[in-house]
Every structure is written in C-alpha cells, then in structure tokens.
Amino acid sequence: MPTLNWIGKDAVVDHHRRVPTRLLECDRELSVGDPDAENLLVEGDNLEALKALLPRYRGQVKCIYIDPPYNTGNENWVYNDNVNDPRVRKWLGEVVGKEAEDLCRHDKWLCMMYPRLALLREFLREDGAIFVSIADHEVQNLRAILDEVFGRQNFIATVVWQKVYAPKSSAKYFSEDHDYILVYARNAERFLPNLMPRTDKQNKAYSNRDDDPRGPWRPNNLAARNYYSKGTYPITCPGGRVITGPPRGSYWRVSKEKLELLDAEGRIYWGKDGNSVPAPKIFLSEVKQGVVPQTLWKYEEVGHTQEAKKELVSLCDFDSSADVFITPKPTRLIRRIIDLATEKDSLILDSFAGSGTTGHAVMAANKADGGNRRCILVEVEPEVSQRVTRQRLERASEQLSECETGGGERV
C-alpha cells in the first residue's frame, strides 16, 4: 500500500507508545453535575490526556469525532491554526530533533496528528468509527495517514458538509461551500451505521390510488439497464395493449414467470385504463423504516457555520466578537453523527473539544431519545476549556433541562 512520507515521520510513528502515562486530577471546584455520570472534560494536551485515559477506556468508545486544526495558515484567533503554538514547537523539537527546524507547516501538522490518531484508534470498540472534520488544505494528507493508521480496508466514506448558505464575494478563486468529514471504522466488517429516519417528503411518494388493503405504495420501474437474459419478452396488458419489449437499451428487471406471479398477488399496477407499462408496487409497510445515510449533508438538514456561531454566542459570554470561534460546528451536524454511529448507552470521545459542540450534541441526543450516552472531551487551552467549553456545557444542560420541565427551577 502506498504511504505518505514527510520530514519527521520516523520520529512520530511510534511516539504514542513512548508518551508517559499520567494520572488525571479532578478539580472539584470546576466540576458540574453528577460525578458518577462519567462525562469528562479534560484540560490539557490531548496526546498526554489520551494516554492517561487509555487504560480505563481502551476499546470502549463507540464513536469518535474530532475537529482538528485545518492548517490554513490563519493564526489570528484563539486557536492557532498553523501548528505554530510554542508548546507544539517545543514538542516537535523534543520528539523530532533538529529536523524540526526544517519542517514546513504540513510536516508539522502531520507530526502533530499521527500519534494522536494512533492513540484514538486504541479507544474504539470493534464496531466503532471515527469521524474527522477537515478542509481542502490537508484532506489528502489526512486520508493518507488515516489509511495507514486505521487500514485502507476500514475506510467507510467521505462526507461532504455544505457549511455555508451563500457564496463569499471576497473569495479569490472559488467560494468554498463545503468541508469534509472522513469516516473510518475500527473494523469495517463490524461497523454498521444506523438508518436515518424517514422524512415526510419521502413518505409522500407513497399513496394508495387503488385502495390496496396492504396500504400505501409507490410504483417501481419495470425496466432496468442491467443485462438480464430473461428480460426481453413481450407483455400483453389487461386492457389489450401489447408491449413488444422493454425500451431500447434496457431489460425487464423480472422474468415473465415472476411478472405473472406478482400480478396474481396484486403487486402490479397497470394504470387506470389497464394499458400502462406494468409497474411493480413497493409498499411502504415493507420498506426499511429508515433510510441509508448519504454522503452529501446539506445545511438545511445539519446546519451551517452561521448557525453554529449563533448557538455559541447564545450560550457563552465573550468579551468581543474577536474572541468568538471562527468555525464552530453546529449542534445539528454532530447530532447527525451521533444518530448514525451510536446507541443509547454509547461512549463518545472528542479530543479537540473546542467550543464543546460534541458534548452539547450528546446531551441533546439523550434528551431526544431518553438515552444515557456518555462523553469524554479534551481541550488543551485553559482559556477555552474553562471560559467556553465548560460554560457552554453547563448552560446547554440548563437549557435542555428547562425545555424538559417547561421552564421553572433547574433540575
């Protein structure tokens, strides 16, 4: 399998094994809620935090979501997105050595990401999966190292999230409408995403124009393009019309004998006059009570960046607009991931917690279905973890509790 090489790779490939295991210390003054709920917000470098958490949570996490720095070169906000933080530079010097002086920002980013991904893999259950947000700047590099860490055979999908609802007129070339979410399983043979709930729009395609006792149905096309040796026969309609065969370049999808059997069971619709091309009935009661997830996630369904900012500002106090995260993720986006990849009692991990959207989404999912999902968040910046992440989680919890009780006292 082709692999990606960069300056410093040899020093970081096995670095996660050499990270010393430390003890986590609980700060009771900053803690909120029931300590037995096993929801954790860990403040500290995520490499060290993951190594500290690993003995307790190895192989127990159903879903990992991370939103790492996109490495765009933007350094003018609370999160350094150029991997140029003094702590990271110090770490690179210690781990990579003098070679670190020659690293470009892509080398630095890869050195930072590789050992963290290697550790994250150890947390996943055999039927678990990791979802990683990324943009064009590093998507090809991220795909290469995820192939190496998780195995190319465990690649599941590349989701495209439509993150904006209007073009940016200031764009130099193209206005970027989307981000990616790369999805890898711990073991693709064991991972099975949940079905998406059927929508009213999808169900409206089903009706019962002939009062069939089996309920609403929709017509299917009898013709298909795939070659079928028994799919080129003439059909005589109940109204007398003779259809000499399927349309040019196509074949009937069932044999003559199968068509006659379906018709005898009342599963063929011939039109009001009995002379239409026969259409097999697909009954709503017989289809999956859910929809296979697709890879294009539109903002109408899962939110956009402006929605995410409004959510964050409504829950957290910021000194100025410059302190607000530039690209937070909407809760609906992470809810989609949780709905697809978890069960009601699953453990979810986010080691780039940022503004705490993942924790907020977990609480919202539990409220929606009465689940008992637990969440582990890791955030490196004390200013962010205490002033933003913790504040958001506490206020989101209060908000969800008030919705549940119809207002009044906090529960």
The CATH code of the domain at 9-197+292-405 is 3.40.50.150
Return the domain boundaries, the chain: 9-197+292-405, 200-286
Q: Which two tokens stand for residue 237?
A: 């309609």
Radius of gyration of the chain (CA): 27
Alpha-carbon gap, residue 64 to 183, rounded angstroms = 10
pLDDT tens sequence for the chain (411 residues): 788 999 899 999 999 999 888 888 887 777 766 666 679 999 989 999 999 999 999 999 999 999 998 887 765 444 455 566 677 777 778 888 777 676 788 888 999 999 999 999 999 999 999 999 999 989 999 999 999 999 999 999 999 999 999 988 888 899 999 999 999 999 999 999 999 988 888 899 999 999 999 999 999 999 999 999 999 999 999 999 999 999 999 999 999 999 999 999 999 999 999 999 999 999 999 988 889 999 999 999 999 999 999 999 888 887 655 556 667 899 999 999 999 999 999 999 999 999 999 999 999 999 999 999 999 999 988 888 888 999 999 999 988 887 654 443 222
For 57, residues 6+ apart whose C-beta sits below 8 A from its C-beta are 123, 347, 349, 376
Angle, to 10 degrees, between the axis of helix 331-341 and the axis of helix 305-315? Answer: 100
Alpha-carbon gap, residue 104 to 82, rounded angstroms = 10
CB atoms within 10 A of CB 302: 21
Alpha-carbon gap, residue 52 to 44, rounded angstroms = 11
In the prediction, which pLDDT does 28 show? 77
Query: Which of 171, 272, 286 is CA-nearest to residue 218?
Result: 286
By DSSP bridging, strand 217-219 and strand 279-283 are antiparallel
Q: What's the Cα-to-Cα distance from 56 to each of 123, 342, 374, rounded to whole Å?
A: 9, 20, 14
